[in-house]
Amino acid sequence: MIELMNVRKVFNAGKANEFSALNNVSLHIPGNRITVLKGPSGSGKTTLLSIVGCMSRPTAGRVKLIDREITSLPERFLTDIRRSTFGFIFQQPNLIKGISVLENVMLPAYPLGDQRKDLCSRANQGLEQLNIVKSGSKVEWLSGGEAQRVSIVRALINNPSIIIADEPTAHLDTKLSYRFMEIVEKFKSEGKTVIITSHDPLVYDSSIIDKVITMRDGKIEDTPA
């Protein structure tokens, strides 16, 4: 599904503060499975995730997505891949203040030219499934848990085949964290590929996880089957 071959990522190359975030990482991430990247802060998890999700490019190495080499594709093609293939869930919901919950959810789909009526219907259906009844409210009025659930609906609005979640339970209490894992299990049952970074045992010790990859200092420590 996703393959990284000898991937390196260097920040501030050639400067006194040069930092190598990933060091010759080779990795296969299977499709239709849940994979967790775990490790301490600074281990390279988020950097790896950004490369997998076409949000940044490696300094060296190759990346393949569904048997297609994407490492050197022009940015406009990477943008299309991000919109049509990936759904992103971040630590912080990153909702846009000043507009409604519904508008936030629909925002990623606007560039695809979907009919507004159909888009509204899909957005409202997703919000109802996660028990969000404040679709007309501004996002400033939401609780932390509600905001996180809205961000999940937003990530799914384009029906992506790959879900990327960066420390998704970092700001959730235990009850909401378990609820999130139930949602992830539903993604899996729908045939989606899910990639999560987390240092939360509730996530990486969950019985629904297919593969756990441990990272430290920009390298993979082990890759259990």
Give pLDDT tens digits for 52-110. Answer: 999 999 999 999 998 889 998 999 999 889 888 999 998 888 899 999 999 999 988 87
Asked if residue 215 is part of any domain, the answer here is yes
Neighbours of 114 (CB within 10 A): 15
- Residue 225 confidence class, pLDDT cut points 50, 70, 90: very low
Q: Is it the case that residue 215 has pLDDT exceeding 90?
A: yes
Region 36-61 average pLDDT: 94
Contact assessment for residue 81 and residue 54, using Cβ atoms and an 8 Å cutoff: yes
Q: How high is the pLDDT of residue 216?
A: 94
pLDDT confidence of residue 91: 82
CATH classification of the domain holding 198 = 3.40.50.300
- pLDDT band of 173, cuts 50, 70, 90: confident
Task: For residue 200, give both structure tokens.
Answer: 């939360």
Residue 223 to residue 69: CA distance in whole angstroms: 23
Structural domain contains residue 30 = yes
224: pLDDT strictly greater than 50: no
Q: Is 149 a domain residue? A: no
Q: Does residue 152 fall inside a structural domain?
A: no
% the chain with pLDDT above 70: 96
| Matching residue, tokens 């499709």 | 31
Question: How many Å apart are CA 22 and CA 36, to the nearest integer?
Answer: 17
Number of domains, the chain: 1
In a domain, 178, yes or no: yes
Cα→Cα distances 209→163, 169, 225, Å: 14, 15, 11
Does the structure show a pLDDT above 90 at 117? Answer: no
**Does 168 have pLDDT greater than 50?**
yes
Instruction: Examine residue 129 and state whether it is found in any structural domain, yes or no.
Output: no
Domain range spanning residue 51?
2-94+160-222
pLDDT the model gives residue 223: 52
Would the pTM of this model clear 0.85, i.e. be above it? yes
Return d(Cα 49, Cα 55) in angstroms, integer.
8
Nearest by Cα to 34 from 151, 170, 208, 174? 208
- Residue 112 confidence (pLDDT): 59
Of the candidates 169, 122, 163, 121, the residue with the CA atom closest to the CA atom of residue 149: 169
Among the ranges given (46-60, 102-116, 146-160), the one the predictor scored with the smallest mean pLDDT? 102-116
Q: Indicate whether 90 belongs to any domain.
A: yes
Chain centroid to CA 28: 17
Mean confidence (pLDDT) of the chain: 89
Would you say residue 118 lies in a domain?
A: no
